[in-house]
Amino acid sequence: MMASCSNPFQGQGSLHFKVKDFKQDPLVEEERLRALRLEKELAWKTIVVEAVDSFSEIESTVQKKCFACHDAKTKTPIYGRVFTRVNPIYHHQQDGIKALDFSQKFPLIAKGNPSQIALLKAIRNEVLDRTMPIKAYTSVYRKRKINQTDEEKILAWTDPLIEKLEEFEKRFDVSQLDVNSQMTKVFEQKCFRCHANGNDRGNFGEMQDVKKLVKGKFVNMQNPLDSAIYKLSVSKKMPPNPRDALEDQELLLLGEWLERLSLENRNN
């Protein structure tokens, strides 16, 4: 026998609501959004204070092994300040500061204002892979190599902070995440640090501008899944660090996003 589909509220009084009864009062909605903004600002300030405070646990390590190239307040040695136009030491430090600047501890600074999560994950990857400081530097200053103790200290700073930032973004993301918004978040986390907002590593930049992106050589509007940006992601060649590779769900999202762009392009 089929279960009854009768109204479970029957006999419990009138429930004849109209759609307009549920419309939010503009003043109430404005107040709600204002309260949410204030809550967000307070939550962010708390994260910043805690991050700066906990940075003290790694400051001596980072100062000794990273600040020479990644701190705008650290003065370049005298031999790096002569003939700056052609001096490789000077240019290396300038490039390092553009990629990551610890000078205010947190938020981290970098050219193009990439997301803090992306920067923290980059630090994490460099530490785990021992790719920073670079070999040219540690071959001269051998004691400045990252060791196991350094790794544990730095990850004890980055990992909880990454988790807090991810929770923060999830908590205060009030937008309805359509495909475009979801894809932008993926790009922000995994691509923009090298390829957007003034960064054009490999002569590929301006990913933040969809109109320029789809007209470039990395997107094929006629056959979207043949796009270089898609094939490089599927093959795990980009992002270059395997830890940043797009997950299966993100690859599906990228494919859907490209196909939608292609369809919109044909319809216009």
pLDDT tens figures, 107-166: 999 999 999 999 999 999 999 999 999 888 888 889 999 999 999 999 999 999 999 999
What is the CB neighbour count within 10 angstroms for residue 175?
A: 6
Retrieve residue 84's tokens.
């700056």
pLDDT at 98 exceeding the cut of 80: yes
C-beta of residue 188 within 8 angstroms of C-beta of residue 114: yes
Query: What was the pLDDT predicted at 30?
Result: 78
101, 127, 128: which is closest to 114 by C-alpha?
Answer: 101
HSE of 244, CA atoms in CB hemisphere, 13 A = 27
Tell me the per-residue pLDDT of 66-83, one tens digit each, with 9 for 90 and over. Answer: 999 999 999 988 888 889
Query: Where does residue 10 rank: exposed (0-12), middle (13-18), buried (19+ CB within 10 A)?
Result: exposed
Residues sharing a CB contact under 8 Å with residue 261, sequence separation 6 or more, in sequence order: 210, 214, 219, 221, 224
**Mean pLDDT of all residues in 184-205:** 93
Q: Give the pLDDT mean for 257-264.
A: 91
> What pLDDT score was predicted for residue 176?
55
Q: Which two tokens stand for residue 13?
A: 């009084």
Q: Which residue has the higher pLDDT, 30 or 39?
A: 39
Tell whether the model's pLDDT for residue 1 goes beyond 50: no
Exposed / middle / buried, residue 86 (Cβ in 10 Å: 0-12, 13-18, 19+): exposed
How far, in Å, CA of 98 to CA of 109, rounded?
8
Give the pLDDT confidence score for residue 13 in this predicted structure.
41
Is residue 258 within 8 Å of 222, Cβ to Cβ?
A: no
pLDDT of res. 2: 41
Expressed in angstroms, the distance from the first to the final Cα of the chain is: 54
CA distance 7 to 138: 74
- For residue 187, pLDDT beyond 60: yes
